Amino acid sequence: DILDRHDDDLDAFLFLRRLRRQARAVGGEVVWLTGNHEYLNLAGEFTYVTPGAYAPFDRLLRPWRQRTAEWAAEHVPDAPTHQASRLAALAPGGVVARAMAAPVALTYAGTLLVHGGVRASHVEHLARWNTEVMAWMRGEGPLPALALGRSDAPIWTRVYSQPGDGTTPPLHTCAE
């Protein structure tokens, strides 16, 4: 999770972007995955946002204050005023959402990485889900509910971290 952990979550993301540019300049790479808190924020769910995490988005969008207010009035008319900039920047297609677009799973050095977990039934869908999730984040497609919106989706499932008897994973988990 990049978002929702502290008042400086926007700064944390901007730092990762700078680090990615620096790494690429010398032949390296920095990657991030879409996690459940990124999804929640793009969906306009700010339950876990800390009180100080709204102001950085106001500063980011200050040059577009009028357009941000108009966007919020049209798209989220019931939202509290102090949330308008965060909503606009993180809505699918918003300036931060586009920059944050990332897969839900990727393979690095032969290891599958994912925020939550990957079930055997997910494997054949991962490439398509990655494409759909990133398109949704960029505002170029609908919400991919199977990849993001279900409790067993890769960003949500904790099946491998939930012990069956308190000490070991359930047998059906091991079979996957």
Question: What is the per-residue pLDDT across 131-142, written as a single tens digit (0 to 9) for each?
Answer: 999 999 999 999
Residue type, 131: T
Confidence of residue 95 (pLDDT cuts 50, 70, 90): very high
11-20 pLDDT, tens digit per residue, is: 999 999 999 9
88-91 long-range contacts (CB < 8 A, ≥24 apart) are: 88/57, 88/61, 89/57, 89/60, 89/61, 90/3, 90/41, 90/42, 90/44, 90/57, 91/42, 91/44, 91/139
Would the pLDDT of 174 be above 50?
A: no
Phi, psi (degrees; rounded to nearest 5) at 114? -155, 150
Average pLDDT of every residue of the chain? 87
The reported pLDDT for the residue numbered 81 is 87
Q: Provide, rounded to the nearest whole percent, the portion of the chain with pLDDT above 70.
A: 91
64-79 pLDDT, tens digit per residue, is: 888 888 888 888 888 8
For the ranges 1-5, 122-126, 135-139, 170-174, the one whose mean pLDDT is highest: 135-139
Flag the least confident range among 8-12, 106-110, 137-141, 146-150.
146-150
